[in-house]
Structure 1
Amino acid sequence: MVIVNSFAEYQAFEGKEIGNSEWHKIDQAQINKFADATLDHQWIHCDEEKAKNEGPFKATIAHGYLTLSLIPYLWKQIADIRNVKMEINYGIESFKFGQAVLVNDEVQLNAKLKSIIDLRGVTKVVITATLNIKGKNKPAYVGDVVFLYHF
């Protein structure tokens, strides 16, 4: 895990890989809880039997937004940003989903610092986030997440 104590320390990673999270297994229970939370119970996510017999992946798949929602959890395994008064999830940009995450797949977030800027005391950071799937060559997604930090 990378520890960052200041803007200057953060800036040293600009254009570089920061690191990878641990692997996280997405099981059917997590998919079902996400479906309940978002009211998205489409059969491709929740109906294991139909997905197995009729679905293109022969298994249920995680919601794309479920995989996106893992970013804060996985990011905290990569970097510990210290001495901040407040951290804000500011936005997501240019995300492309490359392939589905099947039930029981393990995923890992890779983070690279695309840019960092001081906006009169507020640090705006753009992280290129790639969600890798264990055993697969193509990532689940690649895109930029934007965080604001008040050091």
Structure 2
Amino acid sequence: MDQLICKDLTSFKTYEGKDLPTGKWLTVSQKMINSFAEATQDFQWIHVDIAKSKKHSPFKKPIAHGFLSVSLLSKMLTDIVTVESVKMGVNYGLNKVRFPHPVPVDSRLRLHGKIEKTEPYGDNGLKITWVCTIEIENVEKPACVAEFVSLMFE
């Protein structure tokens, strides 16, 4: 199963406690890192200076911002879960987040996720707690492990 497709929030809730399909690989390019640096105004050389990173970094090339990994969660979840009746989704926050391993430029990432918990939210919404692990291809430790909370509304 490449994607979980549910008709509505009632059918979506039946997947609580279950693993989601594994996401597709996504490459973190230098252009993506530079765009994130521009958006966040975080231009630390370890992210954007290729020559300096090659010379002084223990990774020998730029690494992505940790928060870039977190920001990919919404996209990665949307790629593996669709609820056809949902009109709008909103990020609610994070309960926990860690960055066990840096993401060198040109790494490939993919999501392993689970629906940890669902709770009613207002008249037509659902609050979802997701357990998310972003894998780096050929690296034992993940890029990011997070308990991510979002809202969906029908």
Shift of 1:85: 2.9
Shift of 1:144: 1.0
Equivalent residue number for residue 135 of structure 1: 138
Equivalent residue number for residue 104 of structure 1: 106
Could you tell me the TM-score, scaled by structure 2's length?
Answer: 0.93
User: What is the total number of aligned residue pairs between the two structures?
Assistant: 151
Is the 2:9–2:83 Cα contact (8 Å) retained in structure 1?
no
CA RMSD of aligned residues (A): 1.2
Equivalent residue number for residue 149 of structure 2: 146
Shift of 1:120: 4.4
Q: Which moved more, 1:87-96 or 1:100-109?
A: 87-96
Could you tell me the TM-score, scaled by structure 1's length?
Answer: 0.95
Select 2:39's aligned residue among 37, 40, 57.
Answer: 37
AA paired with 2:75?
Answer: Y
Q: Which runs of 5+ in 2 are unaligned?
A: none
Change (3 A) 1:6 1:32: same
**Identical columns (%):** 34
Higher strand share: 1
Q: Which runs of 5+ in 1 are unaligned?
A: none
1:50-89 correspondence to structure 2 within 5 Å: 50-89=52-91
Shift of 1:67: 1.2
Q: Distance in 2 between matches of 1:90 and 1:28?
A: 29
